[in-house]
Amino acid sequence: MELKKKVAVITGAANGLGKAAVKRFLEAGASVSMWDVQQEAGEALLKELSAYGEKIDFQTVNVARREEVENAAEAVRSGMGSIDILINNAGITRDASFLKMEESQFDQVIDVNLKGVFNCGQAVARIMKEQASGVIINTSSVVALYGNFGQSNYVASKAAVIGMTKVWARELGKYGIRVNAVAPGFMLTDMVAKMPEKIIELMSGKSLLGRLGAPEDIADAYLFLASDRARYITAATLSVDGGLIS
């Protein structure tokens, strides 16, 4: 198994891409600490995966709150022995056109999608530095590369994540820590599946493969970058978008 004896922290783990990643990483032999602000959904997933026993736990964490992140990171190190992998997957949207976007909408997205990545990355990287090894994977988005109507806040946060990924890779490589980003395209999550059929068809038409991706497609990208098969890959942004047509 590719991640046997590895410990992974996955943020935004209770639903969507994070939930798929949790299952993939457990299947690959890793122990997983699930972090999410949605306590009820997180505890439900923990119950669903109870067969994995002590190889999985759940912590209610708001990644925008630094103290919660630092406490959770220390709890993982104490309880599971190390943190070998961090998947910075948590993210939110608060969409509005540029001229109508409220300051609170902008701030909320930046706090979670950018500051949250910084908080988790810094807390975990300090542990990884002591271990002289680790992998950090930050979730960006294809909209960071192409832009998207009504998402000034989201696009700004996801573009900044790509830039921050490159900085961390430069600074942390000497400690044996690899840092990469994944840029998902339009994915068929539970939330997207509830959208009108015409919208889903429009989104599917933007892919050269003519369909939306599955959450498992992103989970597999996380798994590859976290594994030793990607041991010479750092500072990269992997687009998983079915060949998106901008």
Using H for helix, E for strand and C for coil, what is the string for the chain?
CCCCCCEEEEECCCCHHHHHHHHHHHHCCCEEEEEECCHHHHHHHHHHCHHHHHHEEEEECCCCCHHHHHHHHHHHHHHHCCCCEEEECCCCCCCECCCCCCHHHHHHHHHHHHHHHHHHHHHHHHHHHHHCCEEEEEECCCHHHHCCCCEHHHHHHHHHHHHHHHHHHHHHHHHCEEEEEEEECCECCHHHHCCCHHHHHHHHCCECCCCCECHHHHHHHHHHHHCHHHCCCCCCEEEECCCECC
Instruction: Find tokens 């000034």 and name the residue.
Output: 152
Residue 231 burial (10 A CB sphere; 0-12, 13-18, 19+): exposed
221: in domain: yes
Nearest to 227 by CA among 19, 11, 24, 13: 24
2: in domain: no
pLDDT at 85 over 70: yes
For position 190, what pLDDT does the model report?
79
40: in domain: yes
For position 228, what pLDDT does the model report?
97
Q: Are 97 and 147 in contact (CB under 8 A)?
A: no
Question: 91-110: per-residue pLDDT in tens?
Answer: 999 999 999 999 999 999 99
Nearest to 137 by CA among 43, 37, 12: 12
- Residues 88, 238: Cα–Cα separation, whole Å: 14
For position 245, what pLDDT does the model report?
80
Give me the residues paired with residue 207 across strands: 244
For position 116, what pLDDT does the model report?
98
Least confident of 22-31, 58-67, 130-139, 184-193: 184-193
242: in domain: no
Average pLDDT, the chain: 96
Q: Which two tokens stand for residue 57?
A: 């736990």
pLDDT at 193 over 80: no
Nearest to 120 by CA among 154, 165, 187: 165
Range of the structural domain that residue 129 is part of: 7-237
pTM of the model: 0.96
Measured over the CA atoms of residue 140, residue 141, residue 145 and residue 148, the dihedral's sign is negative
Q: Active site includes 52? A: no
For position 112, what pLDDT does the model report?
98
246: in domain: no
245: in domain: no
Set 52, 154, 175, 232: catalytic member: 154
Q: What is the CATH number of the domain that holds 18?
A: 3.40.50.720
What's the gap between Cα 54 and its chain centre? 23
Number of structural domains (the chain) is 1
Question: 114-146: per-residue pLDDT in tens?
Answer: 999 999 999 999 999 999 999 999 999 999 999
